[in-house]
């Protein structure tokens, strides 16, 4: 699971760490892992790396994704099923 790029990845001299994480996640997925990327900046980073097709799940809602995993639901979704 990845939520948040490392530093200012938009600037080339600060992007290496973020793109190394993207590569590691893509490689793990290619080897059978289920990968999750959440948050708008993380989505931008995985897209910029060219590896978006090599991950299992991408969500622009990083905080919502973490909340869902932590609590097993979200009020806005839970109300639909009441």
Which residues of the chain are under the pLDDT cut of 50? none
Burial of 6 per CB tally in 10 Å (0-12, 13-18, 19+): middle
Strand partners, 36: 57
Domain ranges of the chain: 2-81
pTM: 0.81
Residue 82: predicted pLDDT: 76
Residue 20: predicted pLDDT: 96
CA distance 68 to 19: 26
Considering the four listed CATH numbers 3.40.50.720, 3.40.50.970, 3.40.50.1260, 2.60.40.3080, the one that applies to the domain covering 2-81 is 3.40.50.1260
Q: In 3-state terms, what secondary structure has residue 57?
A: strand
Residue 70: predicted pLDDT: 85
Residue 79: predicted pLDDT: 87
């Amino acid at each position: 699971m990845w939520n948040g790029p490392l530093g200012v990845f938009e600037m080339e001299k600060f992007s290496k760490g973020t793109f190394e994480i993207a590569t590691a996640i893509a490689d793990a997925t290619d080897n059978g892992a289920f990968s999750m990327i959440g948050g708008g900046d993380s989505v931008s980073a995985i897209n910029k790396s060219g590896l978006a097709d090599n991950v299992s799940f991408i969500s622009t809602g990083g905080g919502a994704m973490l909340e869902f995993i932590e609590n097993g639901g979200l009020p806005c979704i839970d109300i639909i099923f009441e």
